[in-house]
Amino acid sequence: MTGRSLPAFTLSDAAGVEANFPSGRPALICFVKEDCPTCNLAMPVIEAFHKAYGDGIDVFVPGQTIDGNALLRENHKLTVAIQDDSTLKTAFEYDIDTVPTIYFSNGRGEMLTEIIGFVRDEWQGLDAELSHTTGHDPAVVDWENLPEWRPGCGSLSVDPTIAAKLQAEASNSPLRARAIDIAPADDEFEFMFDQGFTDGLPVVPPTPERVIRMLGGTKRNAQDIVARMPPNMGEVTVEKIAINAVMAGCKPEYMPVLIAGIEAVCTDEFNIHGVMATTMGAAPVMVINGPIRHKLDMNMKLGALGQGNRANATMGRALRLIVRNVGGAQPGGTERNTLGNPMKFTMCFAEWEERSNWDPLHVERGFDKDDSVITVFAMTSGPVQIVDQDSREAAQVAGSIGMSLESVFHPKNHRAAVDTLLVVCPEHVDTLSRGDYSKADLRARIQKVTEKPLRDLVESDTSGIGIKKEKAEQMSEEKLDRMVPKFASEDFLHIVVAGSDAGKFSGVFHGWASGEIGSIPVSRKIEEV
């Protein structure tokens, strides 16, 4: 835009002579690189401008590689100095997309003319403007033997492998996290272990350029505070999410899921501090629904709850690294679980919504089918396999699943107020569908087959778990015969579909304490870019 102030710079040529812009004189600034044919086409014209007008204006030629600058000087026998912009910081500051790009400015550094690429009429017009400004005769250029038009080339400053680093180092960089310098001889991966930033597995060093690229996955400002993470109540900014996402091995497009996940686990309902601190060993389990499953190429089919899929594995891992590195929940500190839990590394998967005619999880929880949603559960174990390769009737499969759920917490723990996540495999879904079983029917069947009389739930010589003998002795025979299902309510049974088309193996995640004293599953809509 004519009249805008161009960024100031100081650059040196190969001899170390500094050139400063603005200097108080009109200036011609020509951004070039040696391997661009159009730049080579334009260099004799730039040299001619320098010879014709150099005593009345400054001529700057920022070149993008040291070796390339030398070749330009040699190949074109230049007398005009080429300044070293091999760091590309000046080109980045000027937002150069294409070379050659030419600016002509007044003595205050305000732009008068801009030319991108080579259009002969535009360059001739610039020649006339320079002649008018200096009062000199036009430059000696054989215009007739120059092409009418040639496209420019991409500036190195917009190369994807370079641009993120330049943005990270720029004065307006969105990054605010403290940089940690390590000695050249240090191994960066060992350094991350030594600093306690890892979950016990190697992490990707979060260099500024990697973090910048990760931030490209969201429109949120890098310094927006998404949540405050217990136990240290650390401020979880978008930048800190991006840093840990890099460490976990995420792609930028995973950022919206992670932001929604952090919002979910940092609610009072989910109670991430209690989840991570309990000696019972609970861990967050992330279930993804909606169109974003396909966009991120998530695994919801063969091996959905296991290894091998980048999105599943790294998103779950990133959330846990944030809980560790920002929230401060670390083993031996506030995290005191007795046995530990492999889900504390990662557990994230997608529901295979298309594989059944049931409402998917997020629709059951009040969202539209076309919404992308993350739901987080606090689970203590799983997936525990439910093996039934013999049942041919829907009621049998549902009954088998119910019988397997007796082990949640303990077989004698009935009327349990514990959220349980049931993952039904496709072959079991097919059997249930032939019997017109809905998710509600499956829940009801589970409650029915797990019913036991209270007298069977009294503590005994076999197990001290259950109704205490003193309390049982005060009950009537009629009350002791009362049938009690496994769960306090069907609402504690959460059902999703996932897994391979082959294999009659469903799974279940056993929950932690539920309700106000524990953790309540939380869903958040994922705001996609």
Which pLDDT value is given to residue 295? Answer: 97
| C-alpha 438: how far from chain center | 35
Which pLDDT value is given to residue 133? Answer: 95
Domain boundaries, the chain: 9-158, 188-450+485-525
What is the CATH number that goes with domain 9-158? Answer: 3.40.30.10
Which one-letter amino acid corresponds to residue 516?
Answer: E
CA 134/CA 26 separation, integer angstroms = 9
Best CA proximity match to 526, nearest among 356, 342, 290: 290
User: pLDDT-based confidence at 186, cuts 50/70/90?
Assistant: confident
Q: Can you tell me whether residue 235 is helix, strand or coil?
A: strand
For residue 508, what are its two tokens?
């279940």
Which pLDDT value is given to residue 275? Answer: 92
User: pLDDT-based confidence at 162, cuts 50/70/90?
Assistant: confident
User: pLDDT-based confidence at 1, cuts 50/70/90?
Assistant: low
User: pLDDT-based confidence at 350, cuts 50/70/90?
Assistant: very high
Sign of the Cα pseudo-torsion (242, 244, 246, 249, in order): negative
Q: Can you tell me whether residue 307 is helix, strand or coil?
A: coil
For residue 307, what are its two tokens?
């290894």
- Residue count of the chain, please give it: 529
Q: Residue 335 forms beta bridges with which residues?
A: 331
Q: What is the pTM of this model?
A: 0.78
Q: Is the pLDDT of residue 202 over 70?
A: yes
For residue 364, what are its two tokens?
């059951």
> Which residues have a Cβ under 8 Å from the Cβ of 494 and sit 6 or more positions away?
361, 377, 419, 420, 421, 422, 521
Preceding amide of 383 cis, omega within 30: yes
DSSP state of 47: H
Best CA proximity match to 260, nearest among 360, 372, 421, 420: 372
Instruction: Check: CB of residue 13 under 8 Å from CB of residue 19.
Output: yes
Q: Is the pLDDT of residue 508 over 90?
A: yes
Dump the DSSP string for 97-161. -EESEEEEE-TTSBEEEEEESEEHHHHHHHHHHHHHHHTPPPP---GGGS-SEE--EE-GGG-HH
Q: Residue 110 forms beta bridges with which residues?
A: 5
pLDDT digits (tens, 9 = 90+) for 211-230: 999 999 999 999 999 999 99
pLDDT digits (tens, 9 = 90+) for 397-408: 999 999 999 999
Which pLDDT value is given to residue 319? Answer: 97
Residue 32: phi and psi, rounded to 5, are -140, 165
